[in-house]
Each structure stands twice: as structure tokens, then as C-alpha cells.
Amino acid sequence: MSFALEKQVAISAVLRACRLTSSVFTKLVTAETVTKNDKSPVTVADYAAQAVINTVLSRAFPEDAIVGEEDAGVLRNPGTEEIVQLKAHVVALANDALSTPANSDELPAWSLGSPRTPEQLLDAIDRGQYAGGRTGRMWALDPIDGTKGFLRGGQYAVCLALIVDSVVQLGVMGCPNLPVNADKPEGEKGCLFVAVRGEGATQRSFTSPTLHKLLMPTVPPESYQVLESLEAAHSSHSFSSLFSNKLHITRPPLRMDSQAKYCSLARGQGAIYLRMPTGVGYREKIWDHASGSLLVQEAGGLVTDGRGLPLDFGLGRTLGENFGIIAANKEIHPKVIEAIKAIQEEESKGKSG
């Protein structure tokens, strides 16, 4: 199945959300960032982008479920003047993003309906509360993946995937701060990555609708480089350094926030995306890996957990008991799994010896 309509709708929704997040960044004030219960940040832009994308999806596919990262709980109980203003700003940004004219290849604003009331937009955010599961159609949405990257002006991605009966069929990611040409870091920024299962991985700029095919290159061992999280709390940097020693990798790790790592890997930067657990029992979320893992697979790579097991998108909102994430091209991937096993064996011998 080609999912042509789903692809067009997802591209339009992600591009609208990316324009919104980019416009917010330059004007963001501290009061517009809230700390969630898990201590991670959420900003006015995360809420507004989720409102925009869920509104577009609900209009095009009213029956589809959505598993989105954010919920509107904080905005529904405005206990302080700051939250009242945050809610007003979310509403204004979302309505603005839904009503501005788009490029000719996108869904036109008129097709998205008239301005939404605050209640409609909060309801749109909360359409993302679906619990996930084994069967049926559902969208996985991360309105801003890498909120810390967004806040520091680094990499972040607006990530949307369609999952049907636990299998990711479509992935669309917008990376506003990623250069269109990886070899020209100071050139035009704003890349959209699109993958459809069985049809390949593609990239385009935000401004031109032409999709360019991505194929992961063969990488000689002396050019291996590890892609990993910038945040040491998100993946084990110490394991990564043991791993680099094991494979005699001399290049320093390429650290960046968000699923921009999958995007970079798919277009030939780095060679191995290594995300090993830090040991605090964090469960990876499906919206953090659905679109990126499909992109890498469609570009010719393999994505599994650290034991070589496939990622299971049918377990609910998380990937369950998965152990880390490994993405690499098909030649390198088995070597990575082997190296991880060897390090773990050495570590356990060290502990028992």
C-alpha cells in the first residue's frame, strides 16, 4: 500500500508545525517552558505543534487514534497568570499555523477549517492520549523531539509516524536546524525526511517539494563514527566509549539531540547510532523511534535493540522491555551486536572475578 494521502497529510502537518517551532524559538521566554513530572521540559511550541498536527490529522482521518507525547493537563488548570498566558499563546500560535497560506504542494489552510476555540485546541492536544496497542491504525507523534536541543538552538525534530497493526508504515520528520546539504553546515537549513515502507527513504528541503532518495553508503572501518545523544542522561556515554575502543573507532562520537540522529545516519553521516541504557529503568517511547527507525530501514539499514531484537511498536506507548537501540547499515550492524555482547561479557566477568 502506498499511503499516498497519509503521506501528503503528514508532510503538510509536519511542515506547518516546523514553521511554528522555528518562529517560536527566536521569541521564547522562560515562562513559556514548563517542567513535567519526569523533570523534562515542555514549551509553548511543543503544545502548539501537537495541537496543529492533531487538528490536521483529525480532519483528514477522524477515525485514527493518535499516540502523542504531550497532554493539555497543565493548560486546562491555569492556576497562575503565567499558565493563563501560556495557554493563550498556544492557542494563538496554533491558529496562526493552521491559517497561514502554505506552499502549493501542501494542504491549503482553507481545508483545515476556521479558527479553533481554545477548548477545541486543547481537545486536539488530548487526542494524543491513546494508549497504543497491537492492532489497528494509530499515529505516533512527537511534536518536538529533543526539546532540550530546541531550547539550546541545537537539533530537534518534529516526528510523525503511521503505525498499522504494530508495524510502522510511514514516517515523516522535520528537522528545522539540520542543513539541507550535510557537507555545507552553514548553508540552507530545514530538512524533511519521508519514508514509506517498501518505497524507500527520501529527503527534501522545506522549500522545494522534490524528494531525493537516500541510501546508506558502505563505510570502511577506519571511517566508523558513533552517533549518540548529547544528553548523558539519555544514553550511556561510558558504554559508548568502551564500544569505540572495542571496534578501534578513533573518531570522536557525533553527539546531537533528537531523531535527527536517525536522519543523519540515513544520509551517510556517522555509521552507528548507539543508544545504550543508562541503567535508571527508562522506557523508550514509541514516538521517539517510530519514524526514525523506518527511515533508516528504508535507507538500507537495520534497527534493533542492543540484543539484536526488533523494536516492538505494539506494546502500548512505550517499547516495553527493549534494551537500548542500535541502528547501522546491514554490514556493520552484526559487528555492533557482537561488540556489545563481548563488552557485557567482559563486564560481568570483571564483576564476578
Q: What residues are designated binding site?
A: 69, 142, 144-145, 288
Q: How far apart are CA 133 and CA 339, in angstroms?
A: 33
Residues that bind ligand A2P (CB under 6 A): 40, 69, 142, 145-147, 149, 229, 231, 233-234, 257-258, 282, 288
> Which of 46, 71, 257, 305 is labelled catalytic?
46
> Is 290 within 8 Å of 168 (Cβ atoms)?
yes
**Whether 147 is catalytic:** yes
x/- mask, Mg ion, residues 18-57, rule CB under 5 A, reads ----------------------x-----------------
Q: Which is closer to ligand A2P, CB of 12 or CB of 147?
A: 147
**Whether 46 is catalytic:** yes
Residue 282's binding partner, choosing from Mg ion, ligand A2P, none, with beta-carbon cut-off 5 to 8 A by kind? ligand A2P
Residue 234's binding partner, choosing from Mg ion, ligand A2P, none, with beta-carbon cut-off 5 to 8 A by kind? ligand A2P
Q: Cβ contacts of residue 279 below 8 Å, gap of 6+? A: 236
If you ran DSSP here, which 8-state letter would residue 331 be given?
T
Amino acid (one-letter) located at 21:
T
Q: How far apart are CA 252 and CA 263, in angstroms?
A: 19
Angle 68-172-195 (CA atoms, 0-180°, nearest 5)?
130
Q: Which residue from 6, 145, 257, 305 is in contact with Mg ion, where contact means CB under 5 A?
A: 145
Q: Which is closer to Mg ion, CB of 156 or CB of 224?
A: 156
Per the listing, cell 520528520 goes with 173
Q: In degrees rounded to 5, what are phi and psi of residue 35?
A: -95, 125
Q: Which residue from 288, 294, 311, 329 is in contact with Mg ion, where contact means CB under 5 A?
A: 288
Q: Which is closer to ligand A2P, CB of 106 or CB of 257?
A: 257
Q: How far apart are CA 140 and CA 132, in angstroms?
A: 9
Amino acid (one-letter) located at 172:
V
> Which of 21, 55, 147, 304 is labelled catalytic?
147
Task: Kindly list the catalytic residues.
Answer: 46, 147
